[in-house]
Amino acid sequence: MKRKYIYMLAIGLMSFASCESELDQEPFSALSTGQAFKTEADFVNALRGAYTGLRGATYYGGQDGGSMIITPDIISDNLIINSQGRFSQQTTYQLNYTANNTWNIWNNAYTTILRTNYILENIDNLPEGAAKNNIKAEALALRALSHFDLLRTYGKRYIGATDSDLGVPYVTSTDPSQKPSRTPLKKAYDLMVADFLAAESGINSANGVGRLNKAAVQGLLGRVYLYMGQWQNSVDKSTAAIANVPAANALATRAEFPAIWTDATEKDVLFKVKILDTDATPAVTVGVGYQQTVTGNVRAEYSPTCELVKLYQANDIRTTTYIGQSTYSGLTAKYVKKHVGRATGALNVVDVKVIRLSEVYLNRAEALYNLGAARHVEALADLNEIRSRRYDANVPLVVAGQELYDAILTERRLELAFEGHRFFDLKRLNLPIERSATEGDAADCSGVVAPATARSLPAGNFRWELPIPQAEIDANENIVQNSGY
């Protein structure tokens, strides 16, 4: 990791690009570490640079090379590669990835981590007080989030892991000479949770959705504890997030829901990566990984699978909000509308939603279910809370036992489709990927089907842990590759 970290050391100080993160939009200048961290304004600029790291080309701002938003759906049963598309991420879709050819969030995530570590190593240059506490808390939460994303990508599922299973290096230093080995998975999770908990105690409630705030951190903790199988902790943190959510970010009504995806409302959004048309040249167009508009028609890059489309009902607002249909080059196909963009501005430029309040309710519902039959009434109430805001003339579900559990997981799939959850949900639940051998990429379910070699991935297969990039293995002899690659 030495060579990689030297590179990140340079960009960490020299390339804090501007972004609209509800701080301001002035760039962070190229300064030495001693010069860079003196005043509160210096730390605010550095914090802006850390948030910008999330917008990396293979992180939350990515598209064709991989993205935390689209790739987990590509490596699952939510999307089918479209025969009229550009075949981006085809190797990943075919579950044939290698250390030299697959989605690689490694560098972008560790760039974000490096930037947070500069802040944390110099934080005592600030006087004691609320401003220092909030900046420190945001940096800790960003560091925790980035490590969590790395752990769920490159590590095994937490539930069932052994003490010897490897995670990723949990990096808390800016030392460019370090060549860290992989932190054991459970220890890395403990360090990540500790960072989140420390952030929770010091972070403001009103930082805004372009920055992490108390409700967002608590919601993320609820998600992490769900992955860990710590059901009561997940319930507790999810409940805290629901209690602390600002009114502007409360659950959206059915009528308000479509406006979330054009950034016309902040309802339901606890934290998002803010993206402007001017953020890069070309712009950061996260929607391009799903579809492109060509001479007035939409060319689907990946289409929602027929299996998924059939789960959406006509009276579900998500059906028309998430999924469109168009004809391109003779093929009529479904396409993902969720990230097409705002009412004005560049196509496919839209803020990337990292955690929404609806997910928090669904996390709590699943955790409550797993606490036993005595909590199932509460789980059903959370499930019906979300359903009441999605279905026209909704009739509350009255289900119990396995039927309730299945309903929670189905609603989670419908709600969080195309937001980067499906692969990770199947992985943490120890479920296989199963793709249809008969339903293809056309809107009527005909067309080209998934190749035979890519129709299933059994639970526990080594490909649930993506390969660590070969460049990292080559640069740091202390990094052990995941088995099977």
pTM here is 0.93
36 falls in which pLDDT band (50, 70, 90)? confident
The per-residue pLDDT for range 101-119, each reduced to its tens digit, is 999 999 999 999 999 999 9
Lowest mean pLDDT across 12-16, 274-278, 425-429, 435-439:
12-16
Task: Give percent helix, percent strand, percent coil of the chain, each to the nearest 5.
Answer: 45, 10, 45
Given a cut of 90, is residue 198 above it in pLDDT? yes
209 falls in which pLDDT band (50, 70, 90)? confident
CA dihedral 192, 157, 387, 237 (to 10 degrees): -30
Whether cis (ω within 30° of 0) applies to the bond prior to 282 is: yes
5 falls in which pLDDT band (50, 70, 90)? very low
Non-local CB neighbours of 406 within 8 Å, separated by 6+ positions:
none
Average pLDDT, the chain: 92
CATH fold for the domain made of 2-79+88-274+353-475: 1.25.40
End-to-end Cα separation, the chain, in angstroms:
19
Residue 17 has a pLDDT of 34
Tokens of 65: 């090379």
Provide mean pLDDT across the span 138-149.
98
Q: How far is CA 347 from CA 291, 294, 334, in A?
A: 10, 11, 18
The per-residue pLDDT for range 161-178, each reduced to its tens digit, is 999 999 999 999 999 999
Asked if residue 430 lies in contact with residue 422, where contact means CB atoms within 8 angstroms, the answer is: no
Given a cut of 90, is residue 372 above it in pLDDT? yes
Residue 404 has a pLDDT of 98
Given a cut of 80, is residue 19 above it in pLDDT? no
